[in-house]
Structure 1
Amino acid sequence: MYYSDEIIEEVRSRNDIVDVISSYVKLQKKGSSYFGLCPFHNEKSPSFSVSRGKQMYYCFGCGAGGNVFTFLMEYENYTFQEALKYLADKAGVELPQTEYSAQAKERADLKAILLEINKIAAQYFYVQLKSSKGEAGLSYLKRRELSDDTIKAFGLGYSNKYSDDLYRYLKERGYKDEMIAKAGLISIDERHGAHDKFWNRVMFPIMDVNSRVIGFGGRVMGDAKPKYLNSPETLIFDKSRNLYGLNRARSTRKPYFLLCEGYMDVISLHQAGFTNAVASLGTALTPGHASLIKRYVKEVYLTYDSDEAGTKAALRAIPILKDVGITAKIIRMEPYKDPDEFIKNLGAEAFEERIGRARNGFMFSLEVLERDYDMHSPEGKTDFMREVARRLGEFEEEIERNNYIEAVAQAYHVGYEELRKLVVKTAVQQGLAKPVSRPKQTRKEKKEDGNITSQKVLLTWLIEDENIFSQICKYISPEDFTGDIYRTVASILYEQYEKQQVNPAQIMNHFTDEEEHREVASLFHTKIKELTTLGEQEKALKETIIRVKNHSIEEAARNLAPTDIAGLQRLMEAKRQLQDLEKLHISIN
């Protein structure tokens, strides 16, 4: 849903950020800002800053930052639209009917149609399940011991044996082939024409966090392949960024998620009262999944199958979760294969006990590692401990590394100090022996990262010191920022400067997509290296500006067509501006 910039700004401006955040965090005024303990990470000394003048917040400890919308999105797990509606109600602002730009309207209309088609398909599948045609599907679900309430709550359905049944139904409702295909519900080929993606399958509607049907999973009745079939990726369905059951689990009061492999595991756990269960959608856990989970919880219990494939999947998932700051624990299902079988045979109370005995992810990985060594021979155990030491050396934080060294020492009956020395020795050996791999690619990645950082730093500097804009605006334009988001932010900021109405909190109103909103929030709070003297600061600023300009020129030259005379002239002018920049003295107030 899209709203005009004016209405979004009205809602934001009528909700003072200090007043809103004060209802969540105890703030104390220090100078022109307010400080408190950050609600997004554990800390003892207040590093969470809220500026009434800028209507922005920023944590100097964890880097969280943004405007009043961002805060509610992070703290309450709201979407942008949910945050907007909450603040509108709070301020007594009546939201008008949705307003669109031409491009936004076209995209929004298409998404609305696809969501509508998927919703109708889900309703159709549900009706089919309850009809005589769906006896096979309903019988299957009953054998899996699902109640009528559970079937209804998850909207389970059935696609019957006719391969064009849903297609004909949707055509009768007036939907065109192109739209039905874009919804991922039919395939069209020259030989067979249009035919359903799903037939003779129990259907599992896949919903987004707002309980809108965005796709389907289908379990075949019989021995046909594949056993499970998912919707293809569409404008509204990205399996690497959605989780099955998240629309229900997001409201759980538990501080962790139960991460499963399959639909039935999630449904069985929810039916047994474990409403914090979710599953990836027919794919291995991805960084996108981990980032999505991080919005809701900081701990995950992996309930993957107890077979070898499930164990390998759990081992792959542990570092992915760790990379985004999520602690992973492992729940073992033995003697049963998965949570569904476990619950049916031992019940919810026994599963709760397994949760209490869940293994730490790292310690579990060592238990699996033991299988590769003869732990009854001195040589085998020594080789095992060397590999353990190597893995312990991968912990970057010393406190965390030492805690794990202590845990491993206790678990394997070795001396803490001896193990610590082996970890240090192994780390040194790794550093000395590690070859330099693909140096060209490594240098390129670092250069790209440096250019991105420079653009962020420059945007932060432009917000912090308005005097800088007047000195560089004739040399640096919004077009010098690469990437759509950075260029858009720079364009809006430059317009605000020209109108003498600089307002970073308002800039964020232009981004309603949750991921974009969070990225924009970081642009105005990039950490600028602490420099002691004014001269050092001015030198660093000038180097940053030159780096941004130089990268812009390199990008323009790389994309310049040989016949583009106007483009060549612009490139020559940009190079002259770069030369002028190198001679320019830029002062900081």
Structure 2
Amino acid sequence: MRLNDDDIAKVRSSADIADIIGRFIPLVKKGKSFTAVCPFHDDHDPSLSISQDKQIFKCFVCGAGGNVFTFVQDYEHITFPEAVVKVAELIGQPLQVTTSDFVKQVDPHKEAGYKVMNEAIQYMMYTLNSATGSLAKEYLHKRGLDEKIIQQFQIGYNDEADNLAKFLKAKGYKDSDCIATNVTKITESGIHDVFTSRITFPIHDVDGNPIGFSARTMDPSNPSKYINTTETEFYVKGNTVYNYHRSKNDARKMGFILVVEGVTDVIAFARAGISNVCATLGTACTTNQLKLLKQCSSTIRFCYDGDRAGQAATYRAGKMALELGCKVEIVSNKTDKDPDEIIKEFGIERLQDMIKKPITWMEFVFEYLSSKYDLDNYSSKKDFAQEVMSEIKLLSDDFDRQNFTHQLSTMTGFNFQSMLNETQVSKPKEITPKKKVQPITQAIDGRNKAEDILIAQMLLSIDAAEIYKEKLGFLTSDKQQKVAMMILDEYRKTDKIFLADFMDSLQGDELKKYLIDLTTSEAMPQSYSKEIVIGSIDRIKKWLLEEKVQNLKKQIRTITNEESRNALMQEYSNSLVELRRYIDEESRKKQNSSN
């Protein structure tokens, strides 16, 4: 896939590096920057630093660094264009591409499985609209699902007599592929359909490939109201979020992802016009599912059922989401009914209103735990207080900690002043990353350091680049010279360099690492100074003259031709005079600064 430079620049300028990295790993605020445990080595302290001002990241232990695209590329193990597209998806930025979409290398076996499932979906949808599926269609209509919703979610019906298996066989699909997807199964009596006499709801992966089904019986006496595809190489429940591929863009635009239990909950919200909804397919929410959800939005709004099981699941999932650095909100459901039942009994407006008025995590903690514990019993009340306080201690906002501690004290009658003090003491400390590598690229001599400072100044201001071009025009180190030339080239197109954008133009990891080390070094000036630029250039010229003087001295000793020797002597003398001027000027500046 080829992306033009304008598309890449738009995505980069629209994406905040802290927001994007925060979708993948938990961040800790530290002044104007953020720190995190580095995912690129076995890190135990927050060694990764993320600068929002510069829009770059740097690990001070393993040396990993770059801009937002670099992080996503390295974290996801994908190509640069794929990283650009991934970031664009995360921020909801449309892309204009010059060629067709990515052509991903797909396992032929998996590709065959996707084809089987797509064929099965089309067959089941056809069957639902046939005479065979009339009862199933009537059932759906009675539940309030119109044709638009049925088509949107590709709802179908798997009839009897193993007709799906026969159909797939007739279409030339291998039995092994059909069985591998759990669309059919093999028994002693032969090949049979898995979802016989059930309404089917397809499940897709993050890219929209079909990977399984959830299927509902219409028989009220059947103890298994729903059955899902068993775990296969395509479908792993703990890694799958239902409706993710449809909801992710809307979730990013709306600033939160709404999480429900099951397929029909998602569909109920779709009927209410709410599209940023997906389901964990049960209450056993996993860390992998939450990590996926966080890529949609770092704000997760849970709306599990209002019964005890649903509320207990909300508590478990909320704690896990907080550990991943998510902001957790809860839809307060006091009806003991699921979304579909709420619409049926109270109407669509009730569901819409519930979503608009979420409660905070701590408000939910108080509500849930107070219903779980007997507050009239001392021991139970003590357990309640300790569990609530453990959540209060995790709050980062001082006002919230004070407020909820006071609320807990009022509820229980216990004195929490000592606990509050303990909370303040135990507040997570901002940890300065351990700098175990040199902040600059091994500045082995003064000349290299001066050239580093000069490049840092050129990155800060076009004026520095103009002074460099007029008064020096070259650098002695190959690496620094390449970067300087690229800076001058960049200033031909713009009057200001944005570091994160400029990094994408550097060829090779060595130059990118040099730039990251340079710009994250505390030894580098953070603002433009004409005096620093001229001073660095003078120091470089001085060292060049010293080198020239030494070389001329060596040549004079070896030259026997008197005319050539006299010419070298004259050049040597002129160089000494010029060198003396630089030395005197340097001494004068030092004396002035000391005064």
- Tell which structure's C-alpha radius of gyration is larger: 2
- 1:47 aligns with 52
TM superposition shift of 1:270: 0.3
Could you tell me how far apart the structure 2 residues matched to 1:146 and 1:113 are? 32
Closer/same/farther in 2, CA of residues 386 and 207 from structure 1, 3 Å limit = closer
**Alignment equivalent of 1:213, drawn from 210, 215, 230:** 210
TM superposition shift of 1:321: 1.3
**Alignment equivalent of 1:243, drawn from 231, 241, 244:** 241
- 1:24 aligns with 14
Unaligned runs of at least 5 residues, structure 2: 23-28, 34-50, 57-63, 427-432, 445-481, 483-502, 524-595
- 2:121 aligns with 122
Closer/same/farther in 2, CA of residues 122 and 412 from structure 1, 3 Å limit = farther
TM superposition shift of 1:311: 1.6
Closer/same/farther in 2, CA of residues 155 and 372 from structure 1, 3 Å limit = closer
Residue 70 (structure 1) aligned with residue 80 (structure 2): no
- 2:563 aligns with none
Could you tell me how far apart the structure 1 residues matched to 2:229 and 2:218 are? 17
Q: TM-score, normalised by structure 1?
A: 0.60
Judge conservation of contact 1:17–1:55 (CA < 8 Å) in 2: no
**Alignment equivalent of 1:422, drawn from 402, 406, 419:** 419
- 2:365 aligns with 365
Find the residue that maps to 2:235 and give its secondary structure. coil
Could you tell me how far apart the structure 2 residues matched to 1:227 and 1:466 are? 67
Could you tell me how far apart the structure 2 residues matched to 1:284 and 1:415 are? 32
- 1:203 aligns with 200
Closer/same/farther in 2, CA of residues 199 and 402 from structure 1, 3 Å limit = same
What are the Cα deviations for residues 93-142 of structure 1, in whole angstroms up to 9, with x where unaligned? x45995x8xxx5xx532222111111110010011111111123112212
In percent, how many aligned pairs have the same letter? 25
Judge conservation of contact 1:306–1:337 (CA < 8 Å) in 2: yes
RMSD: 4.9
Closer/same/farther in 2, CA of residues 464 and 248 from structure 1, 3 Å limit = farther
Equivalences for 1:467-482 in 2 at 5 Å?
Answer: none
Could you tell me how far apart the structure 1 residues matched to 2:84 and 2:439 are? 20
Residue 224 (structure 1) aligned with residue 210 (structure 2): no
For residue 401 of structure 2, what is the amino acid of its counterpart? Answer: Y
Closer/same/farther in 2, CA of residues 310 and 75 from structure 1, 3 Å limit = same
Residue 57 (structure 1) aligned with residue 72 (structure 2): no
Q: TM-score, normalised by structure 2?
A: 0.59
For residue 288 of structure 2, what is the amino acid of its counterpart? Answer: G
What are the Cα deviations for residues 449-479 of structure 1, in whole angstroms up to 9, with x where unaligned? xxxx99xx99xx89996999xxxxxxxxxxx
- 1:108 aligns with 107
Number of matched residues?
A: 422
- 2:407 aligns with 410
Could you tell me how far apart the structure 1 residues matched to 2:285 and 2:335 are? 24
Residue 311 (structure 1) aligned with residue 321 (structure 2): no
TM superposition shift of 1:209: 3.6
TM superposition shift of 1:363: 2.8
Find the residue that maps to 1:217 and give its secondary structure. strand
Could you tell me how far apart the structure 1 residues matched to 2:112 and 2:125 are? 20
Unaligned runs of at least 5 residues, structure 1: 1-7, 26-35, 430-452, 469-499, 510-520, 533-589
What are the Cα deviations for residues 520-550 of structure 1, in whole angstroms up to 9, with x where unaligned? x99x999xx9999xxxxxxxxxxxxxxxxxx
TM superposition shift of 1:288: 1.0
For residue 54 of structure 2, what is the amino acid of its counterpart? Answer: S
Could you tell me how far apart the structure 2 residues matched to 1:507 and 1:158 are? 55
Equivalences for 1:37-436 in 2 at 5 Å?
Answer: 38=18, 40=20, 47-49=52-54, 56-57=66-67, 69-77=82-90, 86=95, 89=97, 92=98, 94-95=99-100, 98=103, 104=105, 107-162=106-161, 164-189=162-187, 191-222=188-219, 223-252=221-250, 253-282=253-282, 284-376=284-376, 381=381, 384-393=384-393, 395=394, 399-400=396-397, 403-410=400-407, 413=410, 419-424=416-421
Closer/same/farther in 2, CA of residues 386 and 147 from structure 1, 3 Å limit = same
TM superposition shift of 1:366: 2.8
For residue 308 of structure 1, what is the amino acid of its counterpart? Answer: R
Could you tell me how far apart the structure 1 residues matched to 2:409 and 2:342 are? 30
TM superposition shift of 1:237: 2.5
Judge conservation of contact 1:47–1:61 (CA < 8 Å) in 2: no
* Higher RCO, 1 vs 2 (CA within 8 Å, ≥6 residues apart): 2
Find the residue that maps to 1:292 and give its secondary structure. helix
For residue 272 of structure 2, what is the amino acid of its counterpart? Answer: A
TM superposition shift of 1:417: 12
TM superposition shift of 1:336: 4.3
Closer/same/farther in 2, CA of residues 114 and 360 from structure 1, 3 Å limit = same
